Amino acid sequence: MNPTPPGIAISASLICADLCNIERDLRQMEAAGIDYLHVDLIDAHFSPSMPMGIEVVQQARTKTSLPFDVHLMVENNEFFIGEMAKIGVQRICFHPEAALHIDRLLGLIRDAGIRAGIALMPATPLSVLEYCLDRLDFLLLMLINPGFAGHACETQVPYALHKVADCRRFLEEREFDIPIEVDGRVSFENIPGLVAAGATELVAGSRSAFHPGSDLAGNVARMREAIARGIAMGQDA
């Protein structure tokens, strides 16, 4: 198994796994060298789907030692932060678009010993980060509008690469070096451009790690090849 190129992490999406055979798929992720298990918790209000509940996350936690990378797409952030802290996750990000008290929620996460992040919808400006950067351990940029995992009609927003590059520049200008995670239609074809633009963490779903054209190990190996091309592109730019 070739390791993921340094500085880049792969976060495999739990909702794209076979939830009826979750332990089998978790073992395959471990064997493939996945860095994080990406957990999308959706309440059917913030986004029109509810692919899994808290109990699924609890069961998955007992089956693997992979660090859990939780992405909250909910209205009641405080409740879900508390439940995830009980389960024992390693990272939580939430959406300021659904949060009245951003600073307070970041404090709740960090006080629980969990790495804290903010997730931004495609059209949300980076300026919302201005006064909380020093409390962030990572950022997540949505490259599609939240909906249903794997929906063929959903495509990346046309300004995806532009926003990733703008985010990297925004952080550098303020002398912050934190990971930029990208989520939404991350594919073998667009990974090089995303990495070259400044993405350092990739949420891997139905267009990459769980692509039907191969098994998970083969797909992750293909992702690593695409990442290496993106690093080379960034160095040549």
Known catalytic membership, residue 183:
yes
| Contact predicate 28/217, CB 8 Å | yes
Would you say how long the chain is, in residues? 237
CA-only gyration radius of the chain, Å: 17
Residue with tokens 């891997």: 204
CA distance 78 to 86: 13
At 224 the three-state DSSP class reads helix
Residue with tokens 């405080």: 78
At 7 the three-state DSSP class reads coil
Residue tagged active-site, from 35, 40, 43, 69: 40
Known catalytic membership, residue 40:
yes
Query: For residue 180, what is the enclosing H or E element?
Result: strand 180-183
Q: Which residues pair with 182 in a beta bridge?
A: 141, 202
Residue tagged active-site, from 25, 35, 43, 183: 183
Greatest extent of the chain over all pairs of C-alpha atoms, in Å:
46
Catalytic residues: 40, 183
